[in-house]
């Protein structure tokens, strides 16, 4: 299943959740209205005989108020959770992993997350540890790929080796890439909205009992008891329905994430052994410091013991057998005994076999292995379209190589709250216009910080262009720690530096677009969704302009550009058959920007077709330049279709 299929399945799951939510809401509204009618009737009968008056107006009001409470609570909770995955992680007791940490377990954890981020083509998520949790578990939270956070328990770091940790992180990245996080946020909002009615019922019951004790002759006590009891029961029924739907949807997504983790890492042993350790560990994957119910569907393993109908994950043995068909429950390792044995020998289980590759110290051993029964064949490159949202082991290997080849000083700057800001500015300093650009930096930031920008810019130019975008992706978590006004100031300064020479190169545009895409949740948390209706003519024109720009920038030869354009056109429907390459655009960056804004309105089928066309254009001459690779990644980022590093471009660099 490719990225676009996964997105469509997430949308179908969302529709199922909405239907279940509406059904539960209607049941609760009808039930509450009936309970209030009984309470009013009972109260009237005891005080003035049988009820004879028409209470239709009252009951309609009750129904409207009940629906408003449920929907309002859902919207408020969803809005609160949509402000960033870090809020969910912190609410669960998560502690940020400091970028400069020297702890080997935390450093290894950060390295694995950053490598998976580079391999996936998304901004590095914020990284957390649940320090009070000794079980083996993890989750990813957020509303988009740009505000995601990953959290693992302390037990995960202490009990798993690097391969197992990589399998768990790859599982969580699958949730980030497949659109599961947004679905999970909506589930939490739905559960909360329905649960509010039950909470109100319990509050009324407690108040009724207190009132009965203080005033046993209260005429309204029976009515309040009926209403409170009815709300508590109805709220419980609603939560029951929502939990069953949540469990059914979540089990399917977890199975897909397990399979994706194997695809990402090219070996089953990492995630399979992590699951085995959960089964053989007395603490299992359970969370104890916080109530896991609200986030149970987001976790790598079960957060608590639940009845099978409410279980948000397939049975543990079933998950392992999907990876290793011959596994039997009797083969679970005794993790507690192994930990005691290793502790007595003075060996930290989580660090055993750990070789933390420091940036600038060399190239790692290439990844090798098999996926199921199919042997991995590096000679058969994966088509670009198939890698969207689906990094391959080669991309993970490329990511390791890139991270480890980064100069130590630049890598450290990317993790510094202060230097990450200056590093981002250094990335747009052009050696041909450096004097004027540095003068503006000094004017806006002061001489000391301008000197630091110059130092970083010199190191960046020496390191090579291929490290810039990966460094930028690693920089985002530190950048987002800055106050919003400072981020707005940064974006304004970048735009001024880029426009200083009166023209915007494609690299400058790509860089600026990725900065905006990575910071958009911080710059504009209430951003409106893209427009739903655009003229077909405008969209088709944007597609052709994009193909023309890509064709011309992939080669200096006009005939080769014509052939590349024709290859891209051949993938499109008949409406594009008569299109010609034409003359170069006067302002390619402006044309590209307008095209991407229009094409963001495409549905998944349209986006998939567009990327197939772009891929055909790039592959026409059987080589991929760095300009083509950057353009492809920028286009895919603008379309919210994360693209890993283009492997052929890195093999040539």
214-230: per-residue pLDDT in tens?
445 455 556 667 777 77
Classify residue 130 as exposed, middle or buried by CB count within 10 Å of its CB (0-12, 13-18, 19+): buried
Alpha-carbon gap, residue 547 to 540, rounded angstroms: 11
pLDDT digits (tens, 9 = 90+) for 539-564: 888 899 999 998 988 888 889 989 99
pLDDT of residue 189: 82
According to CATH, the superfamily of the domain at 86-176+256-331 is Metalloproteases ("zincins"), catalytic domain (3.30.2010.10)
For the chain, the structural domain boundaries read: 3-85+184-249, 86-176+256-331, 406-514, 536-652
Of 1-5, 159-163, 330-334, 354-358, the one with minimum mean pLDDT is 354-358
Is pLDDT above 70 for 461? yes
pLDDT of 376 reads 36
The tokens for 63 are 């129904």
Give which of 223, 227, 184 is closest to 82, Cα–Cα.
184
472-509 burial by CB neighbour count: b if 16+ within 10 A, else e? bbbbbbbbbbbeeeebeebbebbbebbeeeeebebbbb
Contacts of 461 (CB under 8 A, 6+ apart): 431
Question: Lowest-pLDDT range, 21-35, 87-101, 523-537?
Answer: 523-537
Per-residue model confidence (pLDDT) at position 224: 66
- Between residues 54 and 40, the one the model is more confident about: 40
Helix (H, G, I), strand (E, B) or coil at 286: coil
Catalytic residue among 114, 115, 172, 588: 172
Q: Looking at residue 382, what is its pLDDT?
A: 64
What is the predicted pLDDT for the residue at 354?
A: 43
Q: How far is CA 34 from the centre of its chain?
A: 43
The DSSP-derived string for 109-146 is: HHHHHHHHHHHHTSPPPEEEEETT--S--EEEE-SSGG
- Helix 468-479 vs helix 506-523: angle between axes, to the nearest 10 degrees? 20
- Can you list the pairs that 94-101 forms with residues at least 24 positions away whose Cβ atoms lie under 8 Å? 94/128, 94/129, 94/130, 94/149, 94/151, 95/128, 95/129, 95/130, 95/131, 96/126, 96/127, 96/128, 97/127, 97/128, 97/129, 99/415, 99/416, 99/417, 99/477, 99/478, 100/412, 100/415, 100/416
Tens digit of pLDDT for each residue in 406-457? 888 899 899 888 899 999 999 988 877 888 999 999 999 999 999 999 999 9
Cβ atoms 51, 58 nearer than 8 A: no
* Matching residue, tokens 């543990």: 316
CA 635 from chain centre, in angstroms, equals: 18
- Is 488 an active-site residue? no
pLDDT band, very low/low/confident/very high, at 110 (cuts 50, 70, 90): very high
Q: Is residue 514 pLDDT above 70, yes or no?
A: yes
**Token pair 């990245």 in the structure block, residue:** 173
Residue 594, token pair as written in the block: 């307008």
pLDDT in tens, 153-184: 999 999 999 999 999 998 898 888 877 787 77
Please give the torsion angle defined by the CA atoms of residues 323, 324, 326 and 327, in that order, rounded to the nearest 10 degrees. Answer: -90
Q: Please, are residues 233 and 129 in contact by the beta-carbon 8 Å criterion?
A: no
Residue 348 has pLDDT above 80, yes or no: no
* Higher-scoring residue by pLDDT: 382, 541: 541
> Closest Cα partner for 113 from 286, 264, 223, 302?
264
Q: What is the pLDDT of residue 202?
A: 75
Mean pLDDT of the chain, nearest integer: 79
Tell me how far apart the alpha carbons of residues 564 and 306 are, in angstroms, rounded to a whole number: 56
Interatomic CA distance for residues 488 and 495, integer angstroms: 11
On whether the CB atoms of residues 253 and 247 are closer than 8 A, the answer is: no
Kindly report, residue by residue over 569-606, the tens digit of the pLDDT: 998 888 888 888 888 888 888 888 888 888 887 888 88
Q: How confident is the model at residue 397 (pLDDT cuts 50, 70, 90)?
A: confident
């Amino acid at each position: 299943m490719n990225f676009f299929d996964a997105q469509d399945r997430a949308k179908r799951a969302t529709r199922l959740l909405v239907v279940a939510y509406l059904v539960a809401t209607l049941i609760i509204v009808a039930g509450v209205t009936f309970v209030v009618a009984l309470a009013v009737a009972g109260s009237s009968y005891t005080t003035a005989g049988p009820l004879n008056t028409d209470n239709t107006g009252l009951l309609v009001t009750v129904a409207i108020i009940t629906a408003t409470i449920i929907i309002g609570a859902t919207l408020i909770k969803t809005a609160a959770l949509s402000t960033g995955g870090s809020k969910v992680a912190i609410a669960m007791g998560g502690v940020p992993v400091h970028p400069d940490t020297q702890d080997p377990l935390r450093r290894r954890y950060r390295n694995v997350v950053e490598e998976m981020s580079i391999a996936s083509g998304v901004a590095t998520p914020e990284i957390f540890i649940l320090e009070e949790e000794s079980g083996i578990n993890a989750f990813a939270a957020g509303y988009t790929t740009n505000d995601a956070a990953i959290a693992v328990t302390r037990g995960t770091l202490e009990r798993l080796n690097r391969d197992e940790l990589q399998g768990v992180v790859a599982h969580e990245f699958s949730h980030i890439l497949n659109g599961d996080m947004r679905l999970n946020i909506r589930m939490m909002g739905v559960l909360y909205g329905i649960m509010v009615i039950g909470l109100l019922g319990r509050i009324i019951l407690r108040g009724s009992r207190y009132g009965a004790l203080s005033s046993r002759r209260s005429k309204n006590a029976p009515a309040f008891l009926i209403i409170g009891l009815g709300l508590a029961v109805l709220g419980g029924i609603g939560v029951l329905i929502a939990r069953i739907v949540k469990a059914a949807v979540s089990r399917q997504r977890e199975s897909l994430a397990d399979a994706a983790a194997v695809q990402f890492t090219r070996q089953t042993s990492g995630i399979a052994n992590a699951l085995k350790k959960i089964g053989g560990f007395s603490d299992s994957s359970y969370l104890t410091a916080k109530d896991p119910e609200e986030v149970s569907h987001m976790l790598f393993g079960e957060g608590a013991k639940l009845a099978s109908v409410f279980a948000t994950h397939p049975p543990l043995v079933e998950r392992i057998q999907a990876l290793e068909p011959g596994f039997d429950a009797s083969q679970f390792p005794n993790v507690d005994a192994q930990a005691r044995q290793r502790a007595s020998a003075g060996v930290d289980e989580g660090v055993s076999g750990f070789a933390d590759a420091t940036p600038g110290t060399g190239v790692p051993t290439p990844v090798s292995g098999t996926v199921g029964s199919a042997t991995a064949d590096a000679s058969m490159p994966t088509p670009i379209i198939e890698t969207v949202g689906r990094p391959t082991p080669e991309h993970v290997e490329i990511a390791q190589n890139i991270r480890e080849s980064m100069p130590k000083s630049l890598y450290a700057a990317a993790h510094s709250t202060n230097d990450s800001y200056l590093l981002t500015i250094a990335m747009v300093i052009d050696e041909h216009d450096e004097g004027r650009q540095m003068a503006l930096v000094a004017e806006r930031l002061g001489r000391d910080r301008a000197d630091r920008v110059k130092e970083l810019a010199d190191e960046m130019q020496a390191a090579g262009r291929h490290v810039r975008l990966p460094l930028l992706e690693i920089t985002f978590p530190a950048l987002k720690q800055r106050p919003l006004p400072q981020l707005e100031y940064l974006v304004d300064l970048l735009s001024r530096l880029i426009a200083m020479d009166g023209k915007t190169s494609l690299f400058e545009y790509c860089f600026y677009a990725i900065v905006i895409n990575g910071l958009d949740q911080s710059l504009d948390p209430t951003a409106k969704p893209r427009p739903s209706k655009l003229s077909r003519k405008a969209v088709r024109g944007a597609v052709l302009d994009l193909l023309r720009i890509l064709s011309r920038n992939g080669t200096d030869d006009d005939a080769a550009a014509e052939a590349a354009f024709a290859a891209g056109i051949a993938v499109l429907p008949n409406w594009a058959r008569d299109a010609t390459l034409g003359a170069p655009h006067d302002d390619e960056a402006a044309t590209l920007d307008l095209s991407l804004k229009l094409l963001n309105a495409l549905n998944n089928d349209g986006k998939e077709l567009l990327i197939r066309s772009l891929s055909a254009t790039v592959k026409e001459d059987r080589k991929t330049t760095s300009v083509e690779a950057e353009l492809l990644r920028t286009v895919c980022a603008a379309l919210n279709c994360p693209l890993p590093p283009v492997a052929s471009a890195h093999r040539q660099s």
